[in-house]
Structure 1
Amino acid sequence: MKTALVIGAGEGIGAALVNHLVDTGEFDHVIAAGRAASTHAHPRVSAVRLDALAESTSAMRNRLTAISPSIERAFITIGTLSLGPRPEKSVRELDPATAGGIYAVNAIAPVKAAEVCLPLMRTGYSTLCVLSAQVGSIGDNRSGGWYSYRMSKAALNMGIRSLALEEARRPRHATVVAVHPGTTLTGLSAGYVAGRVGVADPSSTARRLNRFAARCDRELHGLFVNWQGDRLPW
């Protein structure tokens, strides 16, 4: 039985990915995981609660294994734009407590979630896409600002790079990639991107992410790319 997993399936891109994976019919089973109970009602969707910042790795993995012993494709969409009134425009607005919270959600939680699912993905042809963001690129930063978000996504990229190198030492390892999904209009981003040209809706982003994952080449393992497969500077 072919299984796909979305961690962070409660809303936005994650929720759209679950719907898209069901609609394509490519997978016999789709696991929708997140901190809150999933509202996806479909016979091929299994909802499971996972909190990568509060639960042990073994407890979360056991819950997934009880649903499916192997996973062929996974997407980790955990993340937040801001825990304060808005992303910082100046370093004067950088608050250590708020920045620490954003770091935990954007950098630690996705890497811990990857640790949970990777042992179920050593089939030799599995792909794990961890959603990052181009604004986390140090080399591409030309405007500054958004300190907590930028720094947390840069840290996520380092975490995924290290995880991919560790995973490569294992036989039949999954292909692990940090992916910029493109600017997408969600509840988190609406106040910043609404009305801009080239902004995708979650359904469109889900389609192109799954298309990318389906054709993801081994050569992309451990890299930071956009949804078209083009390499992005770290």
Structure 2
Amino acid sequence: MFQKTAIPFPEGGIAVVFGAGGGIGRALVCQLQAGQNFKHVVGFSRASTPAIDLLIETTLKEAADFATSQGEIRLVLDATGFLHDDAHGPEKSWRELQPSHLARSFALNAIGPALIMKHVLPLLPRQGKSVFATLSAKLGSIGENRLGGWYSYRASKAALNQLVRTAAIELGRRRPDSICVALHPGTVDTGLTSPFNKTGLEVQSPDAAAGRLLAVIDRLSPGDSGGFLDHRGERLPW
């Protein structure tokens, strides 16, 4: 049962945001810095020092090592993600499937976040609340898929959800107070989604989305670990 009241983080910890250069990532960093839960906030992007590249594992390890040198890690947010680029958009039909686009989607939406987990989850404290949360998508829900299309994005986010679920089980054995979840931020007005925002969708600003996500994180308990939740704290079907 999802908690309706906040469960505080221990004092003195730090928060870490991977993907701090994106719309939601920047908003998360700003709101975390303005809050009182953490003594320090570390943001990583392709332009940070150290810089990260989801396709280069050594950069993710260097970032994790740098973060833990700054203090006790209590919150890690993975706000990375890939939907389209100038060469490829979401596939509407199996006729549009291309190995290169499938591979890129899995590399950035599943493998990269999995490697972040590999390097940050062992750094979480053994006692007291700590959270790893990655931004997934409702489109990654197999149970909710009634429209089809968007093959690469759907499949890579479904893979991410399975990776989170699996990592949460191992994390629970090693650090039972820690939490590992996948969060759906809703439709957010960023460069990732703006070409596909349609009239009738609830489109949030990055600031609004960040505020909702942080409110959900505040209410997470160990019983939520391994879950797939939306920005209202409601559970989504796998």
Aligned-partner SS, 1:32: strand
Q: Of residues 49, 52, 62 in structure 2, which corresponds to 1:50?
A: 52
Counterpart in the other structure of 1:99: 102
Counterpart in the other structure of 1:191: 195
> Contact 2:24 / 2:209 at 8 angstroms: preserved in 1?
yes
1:35 aligned to 2:46?
yes
Equivalent residue letter for 1:49 = A
1:205-224 correspondence runs (5 A): 205-224=209-228
> Contact 2:102 / 2:152 at 8 angstroms: preserved in 1?
yes
1:129 aligned to 2:129?
no
Could you give the per-residue CA deviations for residues 103-144 of structure 1, whole angstroms, max 9, x where no partner exists? 100001111112222122223311111110000001100000
Give TM-score, length-normalised by structure 2.
0.88
1:15 aligned to 2:26?
yes
1:195, CA displacement in angstroms? 4.4
Counterpart in the other structure of 2:13: 2
Give TM-score, length-normalised by structure 1.
0.90
Counterpart in the other structure of 1:44: none
Identity of aligned residues (%): 41
Gaps of 5+ in 1: 38-46
The alignment's C-alpha RMSD in Å is: 1.6
> Contact 2:73 / 2:130 at 8 angstroms: preserved in 1?
yes
Counterpart in the other structure of 2:76: 74
> Contact 2:90 / 2:153 at 8 angstroms: preserved in 1?
yes
Point out which structure has higher relative CO (alpha carbons under 8 A, 6+ apart): 2
Gaps of 5+ in 2: 1-11
Relative to structure 1, the CA distance from residue 102 to residue 173 in structure 2 (aligned partners, 3 Å threshold; closer, same or farther) is same
1:175 aligned to 2:211?
no
Partner Cα distance (2:198, 2:30) in 1? 23
Could you give the per-residue CA deviations for residues 14-68 of structure 1, whole angstroms, max 9, x where no partner exists? 111001111223321000012222xxxxxxxxx5422342133643432222222
Counterpart in the other structure of 1:150: 154
